[in-house]
Structure 1
Amino acid sequence: MATVEMEDFSSTQLWMLAILMLIGGEVFTSMLGLHFMKAKFDTKGPVNKTGYSFYVDVESINYANSGPSSTQGTKVMVPMSELRLEDKDHVDPKTIESLGYALMVYLLVTNLGSSLAIYLYLRLVPDAQDVLKRKGIGRVIFSMFTAISSVGNCGFTPVNENMIIFQNNSILLLLIIPQILSGNTLFAPCLRFMMWSLKKITGKKEYHFIVQHPEALGYKHLMNSRECIYLMVTVISFIITQTILFCSLEWSSEALQEMNSYQKIVGALFQSVNARHAGESIVDLSSLSSSILVLYTIMIAYGNVGFSLGYSCQRLLNHNTHCKDASYGFVGRWSDKGKVILIIVMVFGRLKAFNMKGGRAWKLR
């Protein structure tokens, strides 16, 4: 949520915001937590540094048939692939280190790759270049800032109108959609696919272990295949449902009147993805029907989405001659105390991962 005009920021300030968005994203913060976990393992040391097997005390299963000569509590070598691991202390630190490197590559590829894709689009499409030239914004900073914001699900762009001025640039919107998803809800499936690919390409036992025992590392974004499939089906179902409803209710609305059929479908898809994730917008939300606003209110209840109805002097009950329209939302006119309360709410939303186990009591089994 912006409280000032984005175009009032200098290039240096935009770069600083980009850095803050980068280190505040889900991928970076989870990677930081993984490094803390590795530091703990380095202090305690692994159970067995010789490989992915470790010694455990087992009682003889055939004690009754083996006679008095059998020995209980014998130490035997048990392969990890045959165990159901529940204790993270059994994980080799090399595995955590390999995962950390993979996350760093994921972070760089998603942000730099997304920036390059946006930059190439701006170079190849004159209309998009003209928009930035009129506003005096460079292609490089726009590409980097928008990509980092999209992957980090922050919803900011360097222009006041957000993505409204690019509502007819369907290819650009399609490029940003996977950036938004890969940095949040579909991060886990993307990460598992990456681990599977690295296992096939490198053949390293660390990646094989991660794929076989994702729960053993205690890293919440590592899921098994079934959980990833369920997650993808849920996300895609929500997006498709929202897109259909948006097209059904807003197809002939004033907000989409300058768009052709293809652009309307892509715009509806882009808006639907952002309603549950980043908060970027191609339309003035205040111009949408109440039904869509209620739908978005339900969808954004699951995460940090920076949607706002904007700030317009026409919405004032008592006309004020000194009022000035602004592109940012009503929060920009709130008092300092009100903004502090909103900051606390947003921080709580970002720290929701620390309370993920709090819902176990609701499982009726």
Structure 2
Amino acid sequence: MSKNSREIGYSHLLPSLHSSFLVITVFLMILVQLILFGSMEWNSEVVEGLNTKQKLVASLFQVVNSRHTGESVFDLSTISPAVLVLFVVMMYLPAYTSFLPIHDCQKNIYLSHNSYLVLFIILICITERDKMREDPLNFNVLNVTIEVVSAYGNVGFSTGYSCARKLKPDPSCKDAWYGFVGRWSDKES
């Protein structure tokens, strides 16, 4: 089975060299995220009240989860945009990303995965354009991008929705930290 994995349909069984590069890549991606997150957020209000050990453990938990589970230690809406962009990239990268150059002989004549993501982000921004004008701190391109890429990568990150960030206060508004997408329109504009 391990010698002829592709012929019998087990293409996810990787050669040992490729597996080694995959492990190295995963640890390097975690390290890069941890360094950027730590350098951008170490003294910010995001980690306020935590001691050094708690900051390190919470930061490590946050960056490891950006690839797979979407569990958050911190409020993502308060994290710096540079770190959020890095999280978006990490969520988007396929599971088998490695530094080993792999040549795929299949040609895709359809749109690439990047094209679909960009297309859906644009369509959502068009659909939600009124809310983006009325509530730009909650409804912005970065929050939409995080939500779409997180859903695509099956991660589950969300910036949530904060009534405190609304420009026009609304007494009937309720905060939602479980999913920003719940505030999107349910019909086309």
Q: Which amino acid aligns with 1:315?
A: R
Match of 2:8 in 1: 217
Alpha-carbon offset, residue 292 of structure 1: 1.0
Q: Which amino acid aligns with 1:229?
A: S
Residue-pair matches, total: 129
Alpha-carbon offset, residue 228 of structure 1: 0.7
Query: Is the aligned partner of 1:311 residue 2:161?
Result: yes
Normalising by structure 1, what TM-score?
0.34
Q: Contact between 1:250 and 1:288, CA under 8 Å: does it hold in 2? A: yes
Q: Contact between 1:215 and 1:223, CA under 8 Å: does it hold in 2? A: no
Q: Which amino acid aligns with 1:259?
A: L
Q: Could you tell me how far apart the structure 1 residues matched to 2:11 and 2:2 are?
A: 14
Q: Contact between 2:163 and 2:173, CA under 8 Å: does it hold in 1? A: yes
Match of 2:173 in 1: 323
Match of 2:89 in 1: 298
Match of 2:48 in 1: 257
Partner SS, residue 2 of structure 2: helix
Q: Contact between 2:75 and 2:159, CA under 8 Å: does it hold in 1? A: yes
Alpha-carbon offset, residue 306 of structure 1: 1.5
Q: Which amino acid aligns with 1:324?
A: K
Q: Which amino acid aligns with 1:270?
A: F
- Gaps of at least 5 residues in structure 1 are 1-209, 339-365
Alpha-carbon offset, residue 301 of structure 1: 2.1
Instruction: Summarize deviations over 1:299-339 as a string: whole Å, max 9, x none.
Output: 2223222211111101212211111122222211122247x
Q: Could you tell me how far apart the structure 2 residues matched to 1:264 and 1:285 are?
A: 15
Match of 2:64 in 1: 273
Q: Could you tell me how far apart the structure 2 residues matched to 1:226 and 1:311 are?
A: 44
Instruction: Summarize deviations over 1:79-135 as a string: whole Å, max 9, x none.
Output: xxxxxxxxxxxxxxxxxxxxxxxxxxxxxxxxxxxxxxxxxxxxxxxxxxxxxxxxx
Match of 1:93 in 2: none
Q: Could you tell me how far apart the structure 2 residues matched to 1:310 and 1:289 are?
A: 15
Q: Contact between 2:158 and 2:177, CA under 8 Å: does it hold in 1? A: no
Partner SS, residue 160 of structure 2: coil
- Gaps of at least 5 residues in structure 2 are 94-152
Larger Rg: 1
Partner SS, residue 215 of structure 1: coil
Alpha-carbon offset, residue 240 of structure 1: 0.8
Instruction: Summarize deviations over 1:202-247 as a string: whole Å, max 9, x none.
Output: xxxxxxxx33443332212211111111111111111111011111
Change (3 A) 1:227 1:213: same
Q: Contact between 1:313 and 1:325, CA under 8 Å: does it hold in 2? A: yes
Q: Which amino acid aligns with 1:253?
A: S
Q: Could you tell me how far apart the structure 1 residues matched to 2:187 and 2:14 are?
A: 40
Q: Could you tell me how far apart the structure 1 residues matched to 2:72 and 2:173 are?
A: 24
Q: Which amino acid aligns with 1:330?
A: F
Query: Is the aligned partner of 1:231 residue 2:81?
Result: no
